[in-house]
Structure 1
Amino acid sequence: MSFDNVCKYLAAEYPEQFVSWLLGDSNTAIQILPTELSRQPIRADAVILLTNTNQILHLEFQTLPESNPPLPLRMLDYWVRLYREYERPIEQVVIFLKETTSVAAYTDQLSVGNTQHRYQIVRLWEQEATLMLANPALLPFVTLAKTDPTIVLAQVAKQIDMIEEVDQRRNISACVEILASLRFDKNYIRRFLREELMRESPIYQEIIQEGKRDTIIRQLTHRFDNVSPEIQQQIQTLSLDKLDALSEALLDFTNIFELTVWLQSH
């Protein structure tokens, strides 16, 4: 399950709420910028331009504290690419989703020789949930915030039921279910959230599909070292059923040619 994809969806769908939450600015015009940052492409999680202040908000969501390359180096790399592209002040925020005691979740800078680069860290488990509860865009994060675990799902479910627009209610419910599974058992979550509501959400299907694609590409890259962009593009076009079939078939592949043959036949 791709927790990052849920977060990317929320940041892209509700950028104003993230700007208000993280920068305390609720009266600025914004623009969503491309997340692929050029030459040898890397993709940021969310990039938002605050047009009134000519400032960029760059968000990265982390489920696990470890990353390769290490997070501080990645953040500097993102900053350089963003600044080279837009030449604007950049505010970077890393949001850690799952509670951890790892030093990485408490490291907010890269310091090597004369080079120093700082960014903000938000550890969700330290965030007060009260303000988030009143904001539909942030409801999926409430289950990971500093809350009473015995009542938080009931509180979130009540707020979801108050969302009037049907598609928004379905999508937020689906995002809540996925992120809440970082903290709670899925059967326990479904005692509070209506499963049919989540299953009817188009974004739920997209997130599941994207997560499976990402997992398969990582598995293939780990196994065969190099998976060409052409093959990755073919995998991106597969339906959910075919992704399921590929995830089983790849266990029997011994070389990249067998993967190519499989893709041609499907």
Structure 2
Amino acid sequence: MSYDNACKYLAERFPADFTRWLLGIEATRIRVLKTELDVEPIRADSVSFLRLADRILHLEFETDAYSKPPIPFRMLDYSVRLKRKYRRDVEQFTIFLQETSNEIVFTTEYQDRTTTHRYNVIRLWEQDPAIFLDNPGLLPLAVLARSDFPETLLEQVAERVDRIEDTEQQRGIAACTGILAGLRFEKDLIRSILRADIMRNSVIYQEILQEGRQEGRQEGRQEGKKEEAILFITRQLTRRFDEIDSALQERIGSLSIEQLEDLGVELLDFSEVADLEAWLGYPRS
């Protein structure tokens, strides 16, 4: 969650940098829109909507390719809701932060029998870090960009952060850099390269840190509930299909409590293991 919030903070604090990167235009009037939509309200901490003169820029940041509902369908859903509310074209980007070979990160459209909807996908680990290094609001993303020498890249980012003259801006960018760097580097290395004092004094860092503590307490209370749900579902699936391979068991173990509850209902309709694989979005060989 903290990774998504850091990206959301950057997109909404530095919208011109993101517009320049993704659309290749200089936009002078950008309005950050609320993330609640009127029809069956939904809210996502990983989502930002930026309103330009002629379109809506929808940004979705993801660390995990798995989603319920799946990301392609969610992009279609958002697009329809945004067009209905704002009567503008919608430009959509799903930005994946952490490297994976999951087929979803290479998928750029939703398709069923009657509908095709296309959107853009950015895999940060494939991106040239140069554009990130040249734009303050994008600096934290540079630590996840393509590099043969990731530690050297982290050092470059730290140097650029140190040059930022605006103290408040520097603190926010440093905090987001430290948070996102956690997807790629060990904490000790991050602390040795980034100035910890700047990060600690950042409002956004304190907000995300506090949220992380709250989530940690909540996770501690729910951990036992999750283990019980996994055990129950595994027993039900084993009883139905005799045996579930280790890869599927691992995937089930990675689900959230809410997803496990959904699976507990859906599995009643499964007639073969392929139904389970399809529900999990598990790629077939």
Q: Deviations over 1:92-123 (max 9, x none)?
A: 00000001111010011110001111100000
Q: RMSD between aligned alpha carbons?
A: 1.9
Percent identical pairs in the alignment equals 49
For structure 2, the residue ranges without an aligned partner over 5 or more in a row are 227-285
In 2, the alpha carbon distance for the partners of 1:75 and 1:18 equals 19
The 3 A distance-change label for structure 1 pair 114 and 216 is farther
Q: Identify the range of structure 1 (183-192 vs 27-36) with the bigger mean alpha-carbon deviation.
A: 27-36
In 2, the alpha carbon distance for the partners of 1:200 and 1:32 equals 25
Q: Identify the range of structure 1 (35-44 vs 64-73) with the bigger mean alpha-carbon deviation.
A: 35-44
Partner of 2:156: 155
Partner of 1:230: none
On the 8 A contact 1:132/1:139 being kept in 2, the answer is: yes
Q: How many residues are paired up?
A: 222
Q: Deviations over 1:162-199 (max 9, x none)?
A: 00011111111110000001000010111111111111
Query: Which letter maps to 2:210?
Result: Q
On the 8 A contact 1:5/1:210 being kept in 2, the answer is: no
The 3 A distance-change label for structure 1 pair 203 and 135 is same
Q: Deviations over 1:197-222 (max 9, x none)?
A: 11111110112223444566678789
Residue 188 (structure 2) pairs with residue 173 (structure 1): no
In 1, the alpha carbon distance for the partners of 2:213 and 2:106 equals 30
Partner of 1:118: 118
- 2:150 is paired with a residue whose SS is coil
On the 8 A contact 1:5/1:211 being kept in 2, the answer is: no
- 1:80 is paired with a residue whose SS is helix
Partner of 2:201: 200
Shift of 1:33: 1.3
Query: Which letter maps to 2:192?
Result: R
Q: Deviations over 1:117-145 (max 9, x none)?
A: 11000000010001210111011100000
On the 8 A contact 2:172/2:205 being kept in 1, the answer is: yes
The 3 A distance-change label for structure 1 pair 107 and 210 is same
Partner of 1:75: 75
- 1:48 is paired with a residue whose SS is strand
TM-score (norm 1): 0.79
Shift of 1:42: 1.2
Query: Which letter maps to 1:25?
Result: I
Q: Deviations over 1:15-51 (max 9, x none)?
A: 1111110000114421111111123221251001111
The 3 A distance-change label for structure 1 pair 92 and 221 is farther
Residue 69 (structure 2) pairs with residue 47 (structure 1): no
Looking at secondary structure, tell me which structure has more helix per residue: 2
On the 8 A contact 1:125/1:144 being kept in 2, the answer is: yes
Shift of 1:151: 0.5
In 2, the alpha carbon distance for the partners of 1:201 and 1:74 equals 33
TM-score (norm 2): 0.74
Q: Deviations over 1:64-113 (max 9, x none)?
A: 11111110111111111111111110000000000111101001111000
Partner of 2:232: none
Partner of 1:15: 15
Query: Which letter maps to 1:154?
Result: E
